[in-house]
Amino acid sequence: METLIKKYCKSKQTLRGLPIRVVISGGGPVGLLLAIMLNETLGNKVEVAIYDKRWKKNGKKVYWKTKKDGNTRRTQVITLQSKLLKLLPSHLLEHLLPNNGFSEVWPYSQDSPIELGRPKNIRIIDIENRLLNYVQNSNVQLIPEKFQPEKTQSLNCDILAICEGVHSQTRQYYKSEFGLADPFPYSINGEHLEDVILSIQVKSGLSTSEAVILTLIQRRFLLNMTNDGYGHLNVRLTKGEAQEFKRSNSIFSTTFWPKIQDGLKLFSIQPNDVMEVNCFNISMKHESRFSTIINYESSSNATHAFLLGDAANGIHFWPGRGLNQGFVSVMSLVKSLQERLLKGNVLRAADYSKHEAVMHMLQHRHKSRAWEAMIRRVGNKSFSIRQLIDVDDELLETNRNQLLNDLFGQFVAISSRLNSRLPNMPNWDMIKERLELLSNETLKALVVSGPWETFWSGGPEIDLNIFYPKAN
Ligand SMILES: Cc1cc2nc3c(=O)[nH]c(=O)nc-3n(C[C@H](O)[C@H](O)[C@H](O)COP(=O)(O)OP(=O)(O)OC[C@H]3O[C@@H](n4cnc5c(N)ncnc54)[C@H](O)[C@@H]3O)c2cc1C
């Protein structure tokens, strides 16, 4: 580490003209895309070093640590919207989406219009492998270490881009500069809403369109998979289930395992096709700012710090836009710097006002949408879905036919909206056959969870061209 710091500092004696020196902490998809885009867009006007604690070096190459090294790679399937992909250079896109290297599962939408194609499903492990592979032979310096914010000053960089994900320690270290996040907009009656999600790695026997429709008519289970049926079944737990799971050694020994089995039946997942089971908590807070100045040595010798990706905006994954907004945040910063460098080398807060505005727009657009995936509005009141699906006490009142009818209504509404946007639309008989496999209790949880919300969460997406018409 010390040698690397010295090497980096040594090459900095000529500060502060060009090249602009950028340190990126965190080499997940967002950090890697930033490194690539800065390198490709700004060329020799920029010098980029990127740290990740999940990498290791072997010879000249950097690799992802494996299970043996104590790193479990993430395999969740990510949906990337085609409008976003259009922002990336074509040679990078070819590398990120090689033939047979992605699936098309979700329907056309505002963010994936017919002229640009359906959204693309890719496992996060594949996104990370492809981006790391792409950046290996560039000028970007890959540092397989944990970034330590207390040493930022000695790195003497112009820009620190914090891309460490939702639990960023560097964001925490600079909390006086970035300010604290506010949990109240994402609370109910003053209680910060937190979902606990069971994420089961599975293989489903359903077609992708069947999986999409069964996912959209309710909000207890979410299956996102690739064409071969591999993916993750995510289960929203009630408060009681989450507490019980914490206390138990295994999901199979919990009292609610039969309800999870209903989810497996619904999505045609055989017991042998259940692989790893993980559990994570997810909540949202309103961030106050996304850029700041952390070291003021002199007005022309400061370090400008930016929060990007999940470190900036941790978004509930249910509507699936976390990485999409992370990639847009990268493109905005790159375009903002590109514009500035056309005018000269000095960088001041005012130079990235537009970028800061984009970050707030992304926060507003994506957290508003994601909030609708955590709650259900009834009249003037909001209820957490996790509370609504806690239906044990109401079982006696359950009428199975009525529940199936309710789900039929949700199926009709959704399929009429998607008819021209999703190929091979399943019919009600097929959907009903799957629902018939479930207990009354599970059917009731599906009904009260409500279908995916589309009215409050719909509408226009953030368009970078409004701000950066010239920076291509
Ligand atoms: C179940 C699930 C489904 C999802 N589905 C979708 C979807 O369909 N569509 C979508 O757009 N998004 C989806 N997301 C969200 C998406 O995974 C995240 O938005 C994305 O991973 C964020 O990328 P990132 O690079 O900002 O952060 P991360 O992926 O968290 O990467 C952060 C990196 O920083 C490194 N790091 C952290 N601290 C340090 C340090 N101090 N020094 C060095 N390195 C450090 C970590 O090792 C890691 O590599 C989903 C998320 C989940 C959990």
Q: Is 79 in the pocket of ligand 1 (CB under 6 A)?
A: yes
Q: Note whether 240 and 305 are same-domain residues.
A: no
What average pLDDT does the segment 283-297 reach?
92
The pLDDT tens digits for 103-150 are 999 999 999 999 999 999 999 999 999 999 999 989 999 999 999 999
Tokens at residue 425, please? 């639309």
* 119 Cβ inside 6 Å of ligand 1: no
- Predicted pLDDT of residue 391: 80
Within this chain, do residues 33 and 143 fall inside the same structural domain, yes or no?
A: yes
Question: Is 108 near ligand 1, meaning CB less than 6 Å away?
Answer: no
- Does residue 451 register a pLDDT over 50? yes
User: What tens digit of pLDDT does each residue of 159-183 get?
Assistant: 999 999 999 999 999 999 999 999 9
Domain range enclosing 15: 2-182+285-372
Is 377 a member of any domain?
Answer: no
Co-location of 17 and 59 in the same domain: yes
141-143 β-sheet, strand order? 141-143, 46-51, 20-25, 159-162, 302-307, 291-296
412 and 275 in a common domain: yes
DSSP assignment, residue 207?
A: -
Least confident of 19-23, 99-103, 344-348: 344-348
CB of 156 within 6 A of ligand 1: the answer is no
Q: Are residues 207 and 141 in the same domain?
A: no
Q: Are 25 and 31 in contact (CB under 8 A)?
A: yes
Q: Name the pLDDT band for 249 (thresholds 50, 70, 90).
A: confident
Same domain, 215 and 338: no
| Spatial CA neighbour of 238 closest among 267, 198, 201, 199 | 198
* Confidence grade of residue 14 (pLDDT, cut at 50, 70, 90): very low
Q: Could you tell me if 226 and 289 lie in one domain?
A: no
> Do residue 428 and residue 344 come from a single domain?
no
For residue 328, being part of any structural domain is answered with yes
* Section 363-374 average pLDDT: 97
Out of 34, 73, 78, mutate this one to test ligand 1's pocket (max ligand atoms within 8 Å of CB): namely: 78
177 located within any domain: yes
Q: Is 29 in the same domain as 110?
A: yes
Is pLDDT above 50 for 9? Answer: no
Q: Are residues 214 and 335 in the same domain?
A: no
Number of domains in the chain: 2
Residue 429 in any domain: the answer is yes
**Cα of 276 to ligand 1 centre, how many Å?**
19
Backbone angles phi, psi at 231, to 5 degrees: 175, -155
Which residue is closest in CA terms to ligand 1's atom 38? 164
Q: Which of 4-8, 185-189, 259-263, 462-466 has the lowest mean pLDDT?
A: 4-8
Is the domain of 70 the same as that of 94? yes
H/E segment holding residue 242? helix 239-247
Domain edge (last residue) among 317, 351, 372: 372
Buried b (16+ CB within 10 A) or exposed e, 4-35: eeeebeeebeebbeebbbbbbbbbbbbbbbbb
- Domain with residue 72: its CATH number is 3.50.50.60
70 plus 152 within the same structural domain: yes
458 is a domain residue = no
Phi first, then psi, for residue 347 (nearest 5°) are -125, 120
472: in domain: no
User: Domain for residue 391, yes or no?
Assistant: no
Among 348, 372, 396, give the residue marking a domain's end: 372
List the residue whose alpha carbon is closest to atom 51 of ligand 1: 317
Peptide bond into 113 cis (omega under 30): no
The answer to whether position 244 is within a domain reads: yes
